[in-house]
Amino acid sequence: MTDPFRLDGRTALITGGTKGIGLAIARLFRDRGADVVICGRSEDTGAPVAREHELTFYRADVTDENDVRALVDNCETNHGGIHVLVNNAGPTDLLHTRDVDGPIGTVTPQAWHQLIDRTLTSSYLTTHHALDALVRTGHGAIVNISSIAAAQAMPGFDVYAAGKAGLEAMTRSVAIGYAHLGVRCNAIRVGTIAVDHGDGNRRLLPSADTAPDAWRRAEPPAAGAATDVANAALFLAAPSGAYINGVVLPVDGGLGARSLMPWQTPRPQLPQADTEQ
């Protein structure tokens, strides 16, 4: 029986694949048989990563249409097309500064356009230029990396949230619009992921609270690992996800379903071991 989680004979293009979640996806896809192409804005950063992990790197700023056009041309000329597109690149560096995004009343028009370009326009450009190649395969797959910010308020990240919500809306439109041509489009709504941009697998745990009533408090789930997102991306991109289209899959450890109410009864515990002889 053929393994539905294999990507043999397929070319996968992963934007922002030089670190963190993107690199975790690239490594998993490589291990599952794909010819993996990653891109990033820095040749100095991307080329060594590609050599180390046996990937192919092309320098491209995915907010620049000329770069995107050249990136897709390279995939078609040197790799036989594009079977899987993962739109992962995002404005992580801008968000970490804490002075670009913010409340709508304080965000400048320049910052708005910069963040929307990095969260939404970039995915439009790659999808727009890769669609012909995806259609030609007869079974193209697009996986967009979204965020829980698309569905839940994140005060102070107003523009980022708007861009990711737009990405999820675009996901559904592309899914329905191109299904008859054999292209599927899904998204992953990512929660809290512990990414140190090294191995991407550092896992953060909630702080231990020893107060007697600590169990009553609403507590977010432990942070996930980049590999958790990669596993979901493989599921959606490979034949395993052949009947899944237009879905936004939460990979958030239950963060989106978390109750803000405290426990009203003692929370379940493991059964006590029977010590009787």
β-bridge mates for residue 251, sequence order:
190
Interaxial angle between packed helices 158-178 and 122-137, expressed in degrees from 0 to 180 and rounded to the nearest 10: 20
Contact by Cβ (8 Å): 34, 266: no
Residue matched to tokens 């500064």: 97
CA–CA distance from 67 to each of 28, 70, 261 (Å)? 26, 5, 48
Q: Which of 124, 160, 178, 243 is catalytic?
A: 160
pLDDT greater than 90 at residue 162: yes
* Angstrom distance (rounded) from CA 32 to CA 62: 26
Residue range 210-268, pLDDT digits in tens: 677 776 777 788 899 999 999 999 999 999 999 999 999 999 999 999 888 888 888 88
pLDDT greater than 70 at residue 203: no
- Topology of the domain comprising 11-255: Rossmann fold (3.40.50)
Token digits of residue 216 = 């009553």
* Angstrom distance (rounded) from CA 233 to CA 5: 11
pLDDT of residue 218: 72
Domain ranges of the chain: 11-255
What is the percent of the chain where pLDDT is above 90? 78
Q: How far apart are the first and last CA of the chain?
A: 49
pLDDT of residue 198: 45
Contact by Cβ (8 Å): 241, 141: yes
Contact by Cβ (8 Å): 186, 245: yes
pLDDT of residue 202: 47
pLDDT greater than 90 at residue 200: no
pLDDT of residue 197: 45
pLDDT greater than 70 at residue 207: no
Higher per-residue pLDDT: 25 or 207: 25
Give the pLDDT band (50/70/90) at residue 1: low
Contact by Cβ (8 Å): 189, 249: yes
Residue 243 falls in the annotated catalytic set: no
Contact by Cβ (8 Å): 61, 67: yes
Residue range 163-190, pLDDT digits in tens: 999 999 999 999 999 999 999 999 999 9
**pLDDT, mean over the chain:** 91
pLDDT greater than 60 at residue 275: no
β-bridge mates for residue 147, sequence order:
190
Its pTM stands at 0.91
pLDDT of residue 199: 44
Token digits of residue 93 = 């560096």
- Region 10-16: mean pLDDT is 98
User: Which residues fall within 8 angstroms of residue 20, CB to CB, at 6 or more apart?
Assistant: 92, 195, 197, 200, 226
